[in-house]
């Protein structure tokens, strides 16, 4: 009965569906993004690539789709892209700026 929510007990996989939390506000600043967690009052800054990812997850998006979009937009190999996207999403999750939904194909 007291099991933790799925999003906090599981790590993000390439099939996870990620979406920006409703408890935040963000602003684009010359290609970079600044996000404010409304619950904690903590700011989070993103560079150009992070900002692109942030724009993609304004609607629920699979991690694999996020990686594909970044691979099309930037010169990066697939393995580096996947690990960097996952690391950023884990950081955003820890900061309570994103939510994890069911996985693709579930």
14-100: CATH, from 3.90.930, 1.20.140, 3.30.160, 3.30.70:
3.90.930
* Run of H or E including 34: strand 32-37
Nearest to 87 by CA among 66, 72, 59, 58: 66
What is the residue extent of each domain of the chain?
A: 14-100
Q: What tens digit of pLDDT does each residue of 24-54 get?
A: 999 998 889 999 999 999 999 999 999 999 9
Separation of first and last alpha carbons in the chain: 22
Q: What tens digit of pLDDT does each residue of 95-104 get?
A: 999 999 877 6
């Amino acid at each position: 009965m007291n099991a933790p929510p799925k999003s906090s007990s599981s790590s993000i996989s390439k099939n996870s569906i990620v979406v920006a939390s409703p408890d935040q506000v963000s602003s684009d600043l010359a290609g970079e993004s600044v996000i404010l967690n409304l619950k904690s009052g903590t700011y989070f800054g993103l560079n150009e690539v992070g900002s692109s990812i942030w724009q993609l997850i304004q609607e629920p998006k699979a991690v694999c789709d996020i990686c594909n979009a970044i691979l099309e937009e930037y010169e990066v190999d697939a393995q580096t892209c996947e690990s960097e996207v996952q690391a950023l999403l884990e950081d955003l999750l820890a900061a309570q700026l994103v939510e994890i939904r069911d996985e693709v194909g579930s």
